[in-house]
């Protein structure tokens, strides 16, 4: 197994532990943590620190109506569904986003495909399929983009990324990822704003592809 060399930044691990990340980025973090021993250990440390801080807080009395709603919900709740399992290259958090089904790819052009998994509050989560040697259009960012490699590899101005690696790109990063040789590159990508494409055709098709 290839060693993971590009990890989730500390601030995203901390926000994930505190439940403060949008859903799209949370799935990327959860999938990476399921593959990376180092980030899984750091997440455990952040969760332990958060628990210790909560224990130091003064207790607050629970509102009677809130308590009654909680008890009613517990009484009426159905048994929880069994946890989703990973399948092939897809870790359990990705399979959960896929609702247990294989990807339903939609062509973007040049052999590149995508499946949009979720869109909410300006953030989107998608799977990307990039044939070996194929470059995605050059682009910058209007916000944050986090891309986790699930199969194959890609490289750009920021480095080379293989399975388990995460590239975190902010609005100062302009790049053109190119899929490496061998297996097609399959990535899980989350963004919180539309990309900023350098050429005209991708900009023209951007509303159709919702990227």
- The answer for residues whose C-beta is within 8 angstroms of residue 142's C-beta and 6 or more apart is 171, 193, 194, 195, 196
If pLDDT is split at 50, 70 and 90, which confidence band does 71 have? confident
**Cβ atoms 57, 109 nearer than 8 A:** no
Q: Is 164 left (phi over 0), alpha (psi -120 to 50) or beta?
A: left
Percent of the chain with pLDDT over 90: 67
The C-alpha atoms of residue 84 and residue 65 are separated, in whole angstroms, by: 34
In CATH terms, the fold of domain 1-211 is Jelly Rolls (2.60.120)
- CA dihedral defined by 169, 158, 5, 189, rounded to 10 degrees? 40
pLDDT of 74 higher than 60: yes
If pLDDT is split at 50, 70 and 90, which confidence band does 201 have? confident
Question: Average pLDDT of 115-131?
Answer: 94
If pLDDT is split at 50, 70 and 90, which confidence band does 77 have? low
CA 37 to chain centre: 17
Residue with tokens 């009613």: 72
Closest CA to 14 of 56, 48, 54, 57: 48
**Cβ atoms 162, 151 nearer than 8 A:** no
The residue that leads in pLDDT, 92 or 1, is 92
Query: Rounded mean pLDDT of the chain?
Result: 89
Per-domain residue ranges of the chain: 1-211
pLDDT of 54 higher than 70: no
**Cβ atoms 168, 141 nearer than 8 A:** no
- The answer for residues whose C-beta is within 8 angstroms of residue 140's C-beta and 6 or more apart is 171, 173, 174, 175, 195, 196, 198
pLDDT at res. 5: 96
If pLDDT is split at 50, 70 and 90, which confidence band does 12 have? very high
If pLDDT is split at 50, 70 and 90, which confidence band does 172 have? confident
pLDDT at res. 120: 87
pTM of the model: 0.84
């Amino acid at each position: 197994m290839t060693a993971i060399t590009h990890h989730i930044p500390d601030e995203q691990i901390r926000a994930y532990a505190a439940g403060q990340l949008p859903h799209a980025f949370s799935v990327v973090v959860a999938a990476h943590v399921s593959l990376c021993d180092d980030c899984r250990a750091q997440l455990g440390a952040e969760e332990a620190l958060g628990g210790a801080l909560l224990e130091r807080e003064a207790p607050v009395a629970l509102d009677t109506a809130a308590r009654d709603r909680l008890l009613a919900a517990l009484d009426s709740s159905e048994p929880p569904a069994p946890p989703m399992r990973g399948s092939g290259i897809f870790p359990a958090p990705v399979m959960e986003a896929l609702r247990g089904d294989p990807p339903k790819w939609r062509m973007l052009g040049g052999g590149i495909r995508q499946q949009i998994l979720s869109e909410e509050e300006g953030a989107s989560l998608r799977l990307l399929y990039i044939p070996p040697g194929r470059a995605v259009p050059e682009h910058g960012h209007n916000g944050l983009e986090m891309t986790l490699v699930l199969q194959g590899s890609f490289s750009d101005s920021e480095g080379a990324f293989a399975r388990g690696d995460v590239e975190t790109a902010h609005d100062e990063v302009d790049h053109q990822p190119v899929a490496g040789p061998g297996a097609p590159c399959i990535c899980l990508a989350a963004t919180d704003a539309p990309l900023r494409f350098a050429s005209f055709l991708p900009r023209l098709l951007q509303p159709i592809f919702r990227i």
